[in-house]
Structure 1
């Protein structure tokens, strides 16, 4: 028999194969295997028989035999789309996703109209992080079969990863219309709408998912987050408490409750420890690795580093080779100024984590400042940028390292004069003057400052920060402020030069989407510690209300915003590159990777701002 020309089967052999296929579907792989072996013995060049033999061997756990049989089948029929598809599926089950991509791709070449192959190709490409290729595969699928709900859902997921949230929402709405009883696309739609700031619609989507069978604690936790973002704090707290009672092992739920208690519990004494419930869960579940890791991270954020170090060292006694735990111990040691120990730990984890985690490389860069090794900071920042070219912390470290080394590229990257804007904003609609507009906005924001502590892992010192996505709150004044500020922002962006090689200017589409928004109200002596914004591309501060010492030209820098001075924790004696006195009704705009903070002020009157992070608005998809 010539290879590449499949052997024809007799009617009797075809009947035996059909019987074997039925047995396999019924879960009787052993009986099916016996039948198929008999057919293959008499027809050793039948691609169909060899493929079924591979599937039976896979079901009984014979990995080597299954692969060999798939390969023999493809020798007989190298362009058979069904065999290529099934081989790809088997490769996925073996964890060989890159090889599966090639098999699915070959199936689409052999049969361009094979919708299932396009969907599987898109799904695996999405898992591998090749989002653009994944979106293309799903585009093919929806064009071939416009009523394929899974294809629309996959397209929505890909578009969400690409940052085109409006297109993602449209695709996912299509998926929910085509398959309304499936909870999965409702969950994806809810997540996308939440990112867009459409919180009420997101809530409705999650509730639909619940109606259609989604009962996971993740759904309850997502709804808790939405309630908090909507300002329904008491409901969020109640639901969060119920969740940790019914699912004490669900780490994200424990974290959510701890953060809510930190932000909204007005009692700050030892009897009202916001971490007490999670700490008890950790002690009761010593084998819950995910819960322990989340708790360690929370402790480090809250500057309870000794407790974090004790816990991570206890975990490492039974998981000494876990490099993620090595990294966590290094973070805790750094927080406690145990530099030599941290250095050994970073060096131990670097050969593996340095190849795959930008977050690890950023942590190693932060650590390296302490030894004065600017070359190391530069190296780790560059390696992180290779892994994630939009990582804002990595660009912050690279700019700082260039400054320390006297490298003029600092000014190309930061350009404190050209890339920092201070824009006068028009009054909101319906208001005759800026003073009236600002007074109305201040009154609205005052009612939203309800938290008791400085927020966790934020820059605020001696002040309060609103919770959730401010621009998503159903308030007409907030909606007017959002529209006015977005218009001012996009006008400023249109004035910037073009530089495709620049990490900020090269991404400027002159349109933005908001990815986070909040208000900060600083009290006397309050300030923002120097920081950057990891979730943004561009960040901002709109000045709603300023105390006298800030708004008056006194020759002092009290309450001013400053740029270019790194975080004090890095131990660098560097002065700000630019200091600007804010003005009420003006909007500061700057790249999210640029270090910025504020100078404390002495007044009793508060300093109130409204801030938001942005990403460039993506080009609309045509599907």
Structure 2
């Protein structure tokens, strides 16, 4: 459905045709056009305040555009009118969690109504974690995966919770594999969890155990080659990749390109990427193309990473409100004991959930300041270029895909990484550590852009940005970024990704 067709459809409907409006609204949501629907959904809910379907539609629409308070109110009213509806109970609980409210009791109700729905149990675990009850969340999930050892999503959620609490993330998977040693999905998940935990030796052991138990399916051979490359055994990785032949998906092509860059073969990486470029809607290959072009001294890297205004820093301290108050609010959210498994954080913690959906006043004001800055950033980008991952023609709507806070302490840093699923990425500085003149000279705690030290140690950064409370840095999500460690103190940020708008 095109935007024009959506507008025409809405004009043809009466607010009193609640069934037709509900069905049309679902069609607009399926077409990813919630911004066109929100005013009509809100007007219909005002006219029909006890119509469960219309309240559900308002909740779904407002949630899709990040209006968490409106979504929570709509789902709360709908759930009160239909207390036995499991979907509404789950939606109410999820909306409360996203808005930053206590939600465990709401999820308990949703569990009673839909005890076989794994996503409800995962939501309850997230609510328990948010309320400081990580131990209860872990115990509940361990009981569930004990009863359902092939519930892979449950294992993944449990492993990540255990990892954030400083516990062995794969303990439950080990117990499941002891019972079901020939279950390939369990072996795959254990290997992936070890990789997420940056335990390459543990991943290699899990790989060898899988080979002994289930043989050598293609996916396991691909994983073996990847682990060999990550461990630095480039000759073994080359041998395994050669045996596999050409990659069969863009995800595997990105993995192969990563290896070729690490092996200092940028020409081969560029050839592979060029072959797959038109089949890369998720932009997985662009970060490796950037590295390959720079290694080859191909001038196209400047077109990709060095155009004016692709990287911008702006001071939004005044618009963001009381930074000290914001810092105190964020510190209370950092409840985990260790860094998350699948992120770039080293020596710190990261908040759970979509931070900027919280309806706390400090977050609401920060979100408003951020969105204004992002709109200005987009307005200053170079003209549209269909071949460039950061310069699409359609640049609206502006939606936050995900947001979080990171708190680094003594010697903490971010490993170099990218967010290719996003369009625009960021760092907003809330608190920074005191540094000496010597520390300033060595750029302790600074943001580094364009570096991938694990893959190409000799490649210099494109830019270095000094952290400062109230400073917001915006840059393309495909651009490599990380930070320098700092010797002592605290460095706290808010980060987010802006979703790439639908094109065409």
Q: TM-score range by the shorter chain?
A: 0.7 to 0.9
Which residues in structure 2 correspond to 1:31-430 (within 5 Å)? 147=19, 155=27, 158-159=30-31, 162=32, 173-174=56-57, 197-198=98-99, 213=114, 215-228=116-129, 233=134, 236-265=137-166, 272-317=167-212, 319-320=214-215, 322-351=217-246, 354-355=247-248, 357-391=249-283, 393-415=284-306, 417-428=308-319
For structure 1, the residue ranges without an aligned partner over 5 or more in a row are 1-131, 266-271, 432-436
3-state secondary structure, aligned to 1:609: strand
1:480 aligns with 2:371: no
Which residue does the alignment assign to 1:547? 433
Query: Aligned equivalents of 1:370 and 1:499: distance in 2?
Result: 32
Aligned mate of 1:469, from 354, 357, 361 = 354
Aligned mate of 2:335, from 436, 439, 450 = 450
1:539–1:591 CA contact under 8 A, matched in 2: yes
Which residue does the alignment assign to 2:489? 605
**Per-residue deviation at 1:583?**
2.2
**Per-residue deviation at 1:302?**
1.8
2:92–2:106 CA contact under 8 A, matched in 1: yes
Query: Aligned equivalents of 1:454 and 1:213: distance in 2?
Result: 32
What TM-score do the two structures reach when normalised by structure 2? 0.78
Distance verdict in 2 for CA 1:374–1:190, change over 3 Å: farther
For structure 2, the residue ranges without an aligned partner over 5 or more in a row are 42-52, 61-74
User: Which stretch shifts more, 454-463 or 549-558?
Assistant: 549-558
**Per-residue deviation at 1:368?**
0.9
Query: Aligned equivalents of 2:346 and 2:294: distance in 1?
Result: 27
Query: Aligned equivalents of 2:195 and 2:380: distance in 1?
Result: 41
Aligned mate of 2:415, from 524, 529, 535 = 529
Distance verdict in 2 for CA 1:539–1:191, change over 3 Å: farther
2:132–2:335 CA contact under 8 A, matched in 1: no
3-state secondary structure, aligned to 2:257: helix
Query: Aligned equivalents of 1:333 and 1:183: distance in 2?
Result: 50
**How many residues get paired?**
465
1:561–1:596 CA contact under 8 A, matched in 2: yes
3-state secondary structure, aligned to 1:498: coil
Distance verdict in 2 for CA 1:618–1:335, change over 3 Å: closer
**Per-residue deviation at 1:424?**
1.1
2:111–2:121 CA contact under 8 A, matched in 1: no
- Which structure has the greater CA radius of gyration? 1
Query: Aligned equivalents of 2:199 and 2:310: distance in 1?
Result: 37
Query: Aligned equivalents of 2:174 and 2:377: distance in 1?
Result: 48
CA RMSD of aligned residues (A): 4.2
**Per-residue deviation at 1:289?**
2.2
Query: Aligned equivalents of 2:94 and 2:384: distance in 1?
Result: 31
2:94–2:123 CA contact under 8 A, matched in 1: no
**Per-residue deviation at 1:185?**
6.7
Query: Aligned equivalents of 1:460 and 1:416: distance in 2?
Result: 28
Which residue does the alignment assign to 1:75? none
**Per-residue deviation at 1:299?**
0.8
User: Which stretch shifts more, 196-205 or 507-516?
Assistant: 196-205
Instruction: Show CA shifts across 1:92-147 (max 9, x none).
Output: xxxxxxxxxxxxxxxxxxxxxxxxxxxxxxxxxxxxxxxx79x999x99xx99984
Distance verdict in 2 for CA 1:350–1:221, change over 3 Å: farther
1:551–1:582 CA contact under 8 A, matched in 2: no
3-state secondary structure, aligned to 1:467: coil
2:250–2:276 CA contact under 8 A, matched in 1: yes
Distance verdict in 2 for CA 1:600–1:507, change over 3 Å: farther
**Per-residue deviation at 1:513?**
1.4
Distance verdict in 2 for CA 1:421–1:551, change over 3 Å: farther
Which residue does the alignment assign to 1:586? 471
Distance verdict in 2 for CA 1:415–1:579, change over 3 Å: same
**Per-residue deviation at 1:579?**
1.4
Aligned mate of 1:577, from 437, 462, 478 = 462
2:207–2:220 CA contact under 8 A, matched in 1: yes
Query: Aligned equivalents of 1:350 and 1:181: distance in 2?
Result: 56
Distance verdict in 2 for CA 1:591–1:230, change over 3 Å: farther
**Per-residue deviation at 1:402?**
1.2
1:199–1:230 CA contact under 8 A, matched in 2: no
